[in-house]
Structure 1
Amino acid sequence: MVDMAEIETLCKEKTTLEAADIERVKEVSQSMQMMADLSRAHIFIDCLLADEKHAIVVAEASPSTARPIYQNKVVGNTAYGTFEPAVLYCLRSGKTLASNRAITQERKKVEQSVVPVWNGEKVVGVMIMEKDISDQLEKKERIETLSKTTESLSGLLLSHSDRQPLVPELMEEALFFVGHEGELMYSNPAAINLLDELIGGTCEYGENLLEYLPILTKVVEQKDELLVTEMEAFDKSFKIKKIRLPINDKYNGMFIILRDLTDLREKEKELIIKSVAIKEIHHRVKNNLQTVASLLRLQMRRGIPEESKIHFTESLNRILSIASVYEVILSNSSIDEVDIFELTERIGDMLVYNGFSNMKITVDYTGDRLNIESDRAVSIALIINELIQNCVNHAFEGRQRGHIDVIFEQRTDMMDVIVRDDGIGYKKKKSSSLGLEIVRRMVEHDLSGVFQIEGMKKGTEAKLTFPREGRV
């Protein structure tokens, strides 16, 4: 709402207007909001300052029906003659200025109309209507630029000079320039070769290209200025682009660009078939590993010497850890990479919840995720299996409960995997166990990394560090 008290204060303090003049300004301002909403424009009233060199904004109304031009309040601001010549001209001459272009102090382009506010024979102020035309001008500039570009390109293509056009001649895509009915006006060498390959002949300039390539009929008939589509014809796959020139351009017509995608689509089909085949192989490997695991379980149920049970259990877990790699591969969209965070969760949960231990062991997984190649994932699966299984078997002797943390930390080009328990602690022996020897060898030879294990005040920490990217 327009603030009448503010109008009166500004006029008394900043201008030489008399009381009757101020009342006239206030009277006119009462309809400003309605005018702003109807015109979808910003409305102001400016009055001449006492020095008569500049003006001051005494009232404003922002439209509720359009995006506002000004983000900040304008009332009370000075309208300097240098920046607002139309306002000062209208205040001094009493003449109306319509559709005058201006730039606001917030750097927006506006269309400005200025009309005098009269009190009898005296101009007591001006009413200004401003509409934001920045988008319109940008659109006009884009259209003009496009028109100039298409005219230049058309001139390049359709030039009949002795010097042959350079760009079209070098294009690998087939390029046709046709009229609105399909009459051929230009074709580059790739287009001539394509026609010869498809129909065993040529289309002369002036002939209707659609009679030779009917697949282009719908493309030509559509009114879109820009069209991109794919089509199957002549036992081939094509990507087709159409660029229609403005109707009133120097060269009326359209560019049609054909790109042969047949080889690309065939390779895509081959990759899909290969991907399906690889997935089937992964599926069979996983099933075979699970079959071996089932045979081991069956043997364990039928009875084995107690001293052999731990060795059967360790072998079983190793087999199931490798099978977990293929389960993760089959559950993901990529057949080449494995999320080692997800893989470790599967292996850890399998080891602590599969019933081989009577203890209550919990595992937490934290840190960064990383996808690695499937062949390195097999090595990491076995390493993680050995480390967690080592915790389950040895870290919590004489206890009913235990906790394991598995932490992943990424650096610029390296990855750390830490397995930490709160057990009895690691005691270094003269000769390392088979499990730790497997871990050390796989970290060094398969991952090109480093393995460390040491006891802490409470528990043990094992850490493997390896490059994020595999060896080339």
Structure 2
Amino acid sequence: MAIFTDPIREHADFGPGDAEWLHLLVGDWQMVADLAFADLALWFPHPEFGYVALAHVRPSTTHTVFHADFVGEGIRSDLQPLVDKAWESRTIERSNETNWSSDMALRVEAVPMVRNGRTLAIVTTHMDLSSSRMPSRLELTYRQCAYDLLRMGTLGLWPDFASPTGSRRGAPRVGDGLIRLDAEGIVQYASPNGVSAFRRLGDGESLEGRSLAEVTAGLLKDRRLVDETLPLVVTGRMPWRSEIESRGVSLSLRAIPLRDEQQRFGALVLCRDVSELRRREMELVTKDATIREIHHRVKNNLQTVAALLRMQSRRMVSDEAKQGLEQAMRRVATIALVHETLSQGLTQSVDFDELIGRQFRLSAEVASPSQQVKTARSGLFGELPSDFATPLALVINELVANAVEHGLEGRTGTVWLIADRSESEDGDELLTVTVADDGVGIPATPYVEGLGLQIVRTLVTSELGGSIQWSAREGGGTAVQIVLSLAPR
């Protein structure tokens, strides 16, 4: 977006909200391109080129007249006089001569976007005339709607900051259905898709000549809960969105009031059948709730298993048996903690810092009930994919326990947990995890890996797809470094 923002940022004459207003225009002008059956370009003054193209949009209701991208380029010499004229006059200017582009005859108009009495930029419309024919009523209505919106732009009345800017799925588009209202909310024209949308709601009569508010009220007479914004949307009084639900059909509505200097003279209402979208969203919500409940029940069951292991360890006479049960209990508790975290959210990622913060201290305390072992953390794990959470938590748990039981056996010391996120040469995001201690260090003679380290190596290489390395820590002790790629697998 540097091509868009840099020239605007350097324009010292812009007032508060001017740049945001142009951004709002570009965010909503696909609708105008579809209504005008034309390409739109946004031009801004430039000391070298005269004007530079900040943005370009192609219509989805007809073919484009510009196949090559020209955003960031200077204006053509044959187009600049028309743009200059519109800039000075602050009115819509139409070229008296036919323009040509790629063997197509074009009709070009220049529309000044005026706010607070100052021209901020010029929108040019480029419509193909080479395949001209007698336009249908739909085309005539669409073009009139486009003209009304662009003229509102010359008056600073459109785009409107009150318009919805969110990207909620199911936002109506021109091709989904259009209804034009007069100032009283009476339907002047309804596109075929607009008629079909209301027919699916249960209205079997023609919409034209009827009050859209009364039509909607008749469809919702048996419903107790209605969106409070709906009356203002179906009368075209406010530039808001709303939804109607009837007979199992969900219809998304968006109103665009049409105004001139004195008053509101009509409105456009875009409509779209979003029944399938809303059904799928509801399925996702239901599945998310089910998944959360499963995680919650798994966590409860694992905590029960850990409690049973704790009870059994108290009955053991053999120290070796007690130690084995305590290790199993610690591993089960780690997995339960991950499931508890997953049961509290709907996202596919986990705040691993919050999760491991508790687990790190707990692992050191459980492994050293009779030792004074300190723990220290540095760096941030950040948000990690949920499928990383369980194996990585288990790996850290085992490494911390190993550091306490072997590196710091019978002595006081510190265990460090260090996280570092970086980027590889290929552009993939990497996570480096280091567990270090200031204990006795790596033994001179190799030792046989126990179950804990076997679990660590298997999880790192198989489940996490990473690498692990043991080394002597500078200043004494041992450091274990794990490198993982966070790229989607």
Q: Distance in 1 between matches of 2:484 and 2:198?
A: 56
Deviations 1:286-313 (A, max 9, x none): 1111111111111111123122222122
Matched, 1:360 2:345: no
How far is the alpha carbon of 1:354 from its aligned partner? 3.7
Q: Distance in 2 between matches of 1:144 and 1:244?
A: 23
Match of residue 416, structure 2, among 387, 392, 405 = 405
Match of residue 421, structure 1, among 428, 437, 443 = 437
How far is the alpha carbon of 1:164 from its aligned partner? 5.3
How far is the alpha carbon of 1:167 from its aligned partner? 10
Match of residue 182, structure 2, among 166, 179, 198 = 179
Q: Distance in 1 between matches of 2:338 and 2:121?
A: 59
Given that 1:176 and 1:186 are in contact with CA atoms closer than 8 Å, whether structure 2 keeps it comes out as yes
Query: 2:459 maps to what in 1?
Result: 442
Given that 1:453 and 1:462 are in contact with CA atoms closer than 8 Å, whether structure 2 keeps it comes out as yes
Query: 2:405 maps to what in 1?
Result: 393
How far is the alpha carbon of 1:210 from its aligned partner? 4.3
How far is the alpha carbon of 1:209 from its aligned partner? 4.2
Q: Distance in 2 between matches of 1:335 and 1:162?
A: 49
Question: Higher relative contact order at CA 8 Å, sep ≥6: structure 1 or structure 2?
Answer: 2
Query: 1:458 maps to what in 2?
Result: 476
Given that 2:367 and 2:404 are in contact with CA atoms closer than 8 Å, whether structure 1 keeps it comes out as no
Query: 1:140 maps to what in 2?
Result: 117
Given that 1:199 and 1:212 are in contact with CA atoms closer than 8 Å, whether structure 2 keeps it comes out as no
How far is the alpha carbon of 1:262 from its aligned partner? 2.6
Match of residue 165, structure 1, among 139, 150, 165 = 139
Matched, 1:219 2:233: yes
Given that 2:367 and 2:401 are in contact with CA atoms closer than 8 Å, whether structure 1 keeps it comes out as no
166-175 or 357-366, which moves further after superposition? 166-175
How far is the alpha carbon of 1:196 from its aligned partner? 2.9
Q: Distance in 1 between matches of 2:235 and 2:487?
A: 52
Q: How does 1:120-159 map to 2 (within 5 A)?
A: 138-141=115-118
Q: Distance in 1 between matches of 2:137 and 2:182?
A: 24
TM-score (norm 2): 0.59
How far is the alpha carbon of 1:320 from its aligned partner? 1.0
Q: Distance in 1 between matches of 2:321 and 2:440?
A: 25
How far is the alpha carbon of 1:339 from its aligned partner? 2.4
How far is the alpha carbon of 1:195 from its aligned partner? 3.1
Describe the shift of the 1:230–1:204 C-alpha distance in structure 2 as closer, same or farther (beyond 3 A).
closer
Matched, 1:270 2:293: no
How far is the alpha carbon of 1:176 from its aligned partner? 0.5
Describe the shift of the 1:181–1:279 C-alpha distance in structure 2 as closer, same or farther (beyond 3 A).
same
Given that 1:300 and 1:309 are in contact with CA atoms closer than 8 Å, whether structure 2 keeps it comes out as yes
Query: 1:37 maps to what in 2?
Result: none
Q: Distance in 2 between matches of 1:175 and 1:236?
A: 18
Q: Distance in 1 between matches of 2:120 and 2:212?
A: 29
Query: 2:334 maps to what in 1?
Result: 321
Describe the shift of the 1:460–1:200 C-alpha distance in structure 2 as closer, same or farther (beyond 3 A).
same
444-453 or 257-266, which moves further after superposition? 257-266
Partner AA of 2:323 in structure 1: I
Partner AA of 1:308 in structure 2: A
Matched, 1:433 2:470: no
Partner AA of 1:467 in structure 2: S
Q: Distance in 1 between matches of 2:317 and 2:283?
A: 49
How far is the alpha carbon of 1:353 from its aligned partner? 2.6
Describe the shift of the 1:321–1:208 C-alpha distance in structure 2 as closer, same or farther (beyond 3 A).
closer
Query: 2:224 maps to what in 1?
Result: none
Q: Distance in 2 between matches of 1:254 and 1:348?
A: 61
Describe the shift of the 1:464–1:145 C-alpha distance in structure 2 as closer, same or farther (beyond 3 A).
closer
SS in 2 for 1:357: coil
How far is the alpha carbon of 1:238 from its aligned partner? 3.0
Matched, 1:244 2:257: yes
Q: Distance in 2 between matches of 1:368 and 1:443?
A: 19
TM-score (norm 1): 0.61
The gaps in structure 1 that reach 5 residues or longer are 1-66, 68-136, 154-158
Query: 1:229 maps to what in 2?
Result: 242
How far is the alpha carbon of 1:250 from its aligned partner? 12
How far is the alpha carbon of 1:439 from its aligned partner? 1.1
SS in 1 for 2:115: helix
Q: Distance in 2 between matches of 1:144 and 1:213?
A: 39
Given that 1:180 and 1:220 are in contact with CA atoms closer than 8 Å, whether structure 2 keeps it comes out as no
How far is the alpha carbon of 1:395 from its aligned partner? 1.1
How far is the alpha carbon of 1:212 from its aligned partner? 3.3
Given that 2:381 and 2:431 are in contact with CA atoms closer than 8 Å, whether structure 1 keeps it comes out as no
Partner AA of 2:460 in structure 1: V
How far is the alpha carbon of 1:314 from its aligned partner? 1.4
How far is the alpha carbon of 1:251 from its aligned partner? 10
Q: Distance in 2 between matches of 1:236 and 1:298?
A: 57
How far is the alpha carbon of 1:387 from its aligned partner? 0.2
Describe the shift of the 1:199–1:303 C-alpha distance in structure 2 as closer, same or farther (beyond 3 A).
closer
**Count of equivalent residues:** 326
Deviations 1:413-435 (A, max 9, x none): 11100001011111151532322
Q: How does 1:58-73 map to 2 (within 5 A)?
A: none
How far is the alpha carbon of 1:217 from its aligned partner? 5.5
Describe the shift of the 1:139–1:206 C-alpha distance in structure 2 as closer, same or farther (beyond 3 A).
same
Given that 1:278 and 1:335 are in contact with CA atoms closer than 8 Å, whether structure 2 keeps it comes out as no
Deviations 1:154-181 (A, max 9, x none): xxxxx98448529969944221112122
Given that 1:203 and 1:212 are in contact with CA atoms closer than 8 Å, whether structure 2 keeps it comes out as no
Matched, 1:378 2:390: yes
